[in-house]
Structure 1
Amino acid sequence: MITIGSTQLWVHDQEEALKFWTEKVGFEVRSDVTLDGWSLRWLTVAAPGQDVQLVLMTVPGPPVMDADTAEQVRALTATGFAGTLFLVTDDCRKSYEELSARGVEFTQEPTEQPYGVDCAFRDPSGNSVRLGEINAAV
């Protein structure tokens, strides 16, 4: 059987991303290691009780990416268009209030949708995140 183990977000600063995802969103650290022979820090977080991990990946330079490509990835991430992370919650409005109180700045307040209620925020690197309460019928 194949399952999803992790997904990744490009981040501009791993320390800033770590503080955001743990202190503001409430995730917990799962891995934080620097790979031998690489200047790569494998940093993952996850929602408590969930197996799927979110890799907070710094944009690499050479030899993985040339400098121009790395800068393009950083710029695209900052606009919120490098992909969207979809989170789910049992109560979107309550989660919105809790996260707002912790300092998460939302780009969209909870809104009724045909599939439930959702809202949106961006992380410090600019990544787009949607938080939704999905109807059982969807």
Structure 2
Amino acid sequence: MPQQLGQLSLLVRDYDEAIRYYTEVLDFELLEDTKMSETKRWVRVSPPGSTCHLLLAKAANEPQEKQIGLQAGGRVFLFLYTDDFWRDYNKYTSRGVEFIREPAQEAYGTVSVFKDLYGNLWDLIEPKQ
């Protein structure tokens, strides 16, 4: 079997606020929300049709809390591919998503950078065909 990334762990402040953001603002699907203990849940979200998922991991201590939103040291951390850049850009903008770079046509496609609710940077990309 060839290898592939299955999921990425993303530090969050609160499970429910993260679920709301990713499902209601970015239109991701809630794949799983399983209680593991009094303080820990196994929460997975994903863009529709994606094979790679985000595991929303609630920060469990102060060092982890300090890393929320900074998992890539201030660089773009995640890359969200779309088949219609302007549809998603306009939808996200209308829902209050903060884009920190103007949309641009690059050799690889149309792209802009946005912040999620914790400050992680994402590229929204419509790859060239």
Q: CA deviation at 1:51?
A: 2.7
Contact preservation (8 Å) 2:76, 2:123 = no
SS, match of residue 33 in structure 2: strand
Using structure 1 for the length normalisation, give the TM-score: 0.79
- For 1:79-100, what per-residue CA distance to the aligned partner results, in whole angstroms no more than 9, with x for missing partners? 9627611011122122101211
State how many pairs are aligned: 128
Contact preservation (8 Å) 2:104, 2:110 = yes
User: Which runs of 4 or more aligned residues in structure 1 lie more than 2 Å from their structure 2 counterparts after TM superposition?
Assistant: 69-72, 74-77, 79-83
Distance change (3 Å), C-alpha of 1:3 and 1:74: closer
Tell me which structure has the larger Cα radius of gyration. 1
In the alignment, the residues of structure 1 paired with residue 56 and residue 6 of structure 2 have an alpha-carbon distance, to the nearest angstrom, of 14
- For 1:35-90, what per-residue CA distance to the aligned partner results, in whole angstroms no more than 9, with x for missing partners? 14x632111111122232111111222xxxxx4x324323735x962761101112
In the alignment, the residues of structure 2 paired with residue 86 and residue 75 of structure 1 have an alpha-carbon distance, to the nearest angstrom, of 15
In the alignment, the residues of structure 2 paired with residue 32 and residue 47 of structure 1 have an alpha-carbon distance, to the nearest angstrom, of 16
Q: CA RMSD in A?
A: 2.3
In the alignment, the residues of structure 2 paired with residue 99 and residue 75 of structure 1 have an alpha-carbon distance, to the nearest angstrom, of 19
Using structure 2 for the length normalisation, give the TM-score: 0.84
SS, match of residue 8 in structure 2: strand
In the alignment, the residues of structure 2 paired with residue 10 and residue 80 of structure 1 have an alpha-carbon distance, to the nearest angstrom, of 13
